[in-house]
Amino acid sequence: MKLGILADIHSNLEALRCVLGALKDIDGYLCPGDIVGYGPNPNECIEIVRELRCGAVAGNHDLACIGILDPRRFTEDAREAVSWTINMLTEDNRKFLETLPLRLEGDGFEMVHGSLRNPAEEYIIGLKDGAATIELMKKEICFVGHLHTSLVIVKDKAGKYDGWQLNDGDMVDTTKFDKVVINVGGVGQPRDMDPRASFGIYDTEKHTVEIRKVEYNIIAVQEKMRKANLPDFLIERLKYGR
């Protein structure tokens, strides 16, 4: 089975559509959180996630937009986008966000937005925080989001930790390791200095995860964000992927 991994969609409909167009012969989808926040199309993105029957977990932005997480912990721009999103969300879509669990488990994998220590809010950036999550893992693979950067942290069969960034076309063969934490990068607001929408393809039979990045119409999204009066910094950063 092949599963498309769609992390940090962040209400970016153009990016999400391009990613779905690039995913061929896919049997299902996983979303490691942050469907909404930052971008101009929260309802449309939630509706696609619902239609695709994505296995999804809640991200910190999803939780802030339904009043579960205090947005005072966010940057001012992110907070502004949260307030805007709260006003835009339909009752039905808000209720859907309320159903999202913090952690999801499947055959061979588990998934959280941040980390297993703190599912909604901790960033896995390097070996130290990666190792802390690895020690809590019950499955071979843990999909995370939150950082908006594609990277992998592994514990090899000798018990040694390692980690590296992943680029377009990179494939991780998880059978080579004891445990693997993977962030496939962000669909809707990538931050690895590559503005392309980033996503993953998890092959559950070969136990591989491939990273892919596709271009999308950034200008169209920026225009919508300007019309919605979303913060300039959030509009500008899409162009640079940071």
| Interacting residue ranges for Zn ion, rule: CB under 5 A | 8, 34
Residue count of the chain:
242
Least Å from the CB of residue 7 to Zn ion: 8
130 phi and psi angles, rounded to 5 deg: -65, -45
Q: Which helix (H) or strand (E) holds 93?
A: helix 91-99
Instruction: Spell out the residues 6+ positions from residue 232 whose beta carbon is closer than 8 angstroms to its own.
Output: none
Least Å from the CB of residue 145 to Zn ion: 6
Least Å from the CB of residue 219 to Zn ion: 22
Residue whose CB is less far from Zn ion, 65 or 166 = 65
Residue whose CB is less far from Zn ion, 8 or 129 = 8
Residue whose CB is less far from Zn ion, 8 or 192 = 8
Least Å from the CB of residue 138 to Zn ion: 24
Of 202, 37, 1, 12, the C-alpha closest to 111 is 202
Residue whose CB is less far from Zn ion, 34 or 210 = 34
Residue 214, judged by CB atoms within 10 A of its CB (0-12, 13-18, 19+), counts as middle
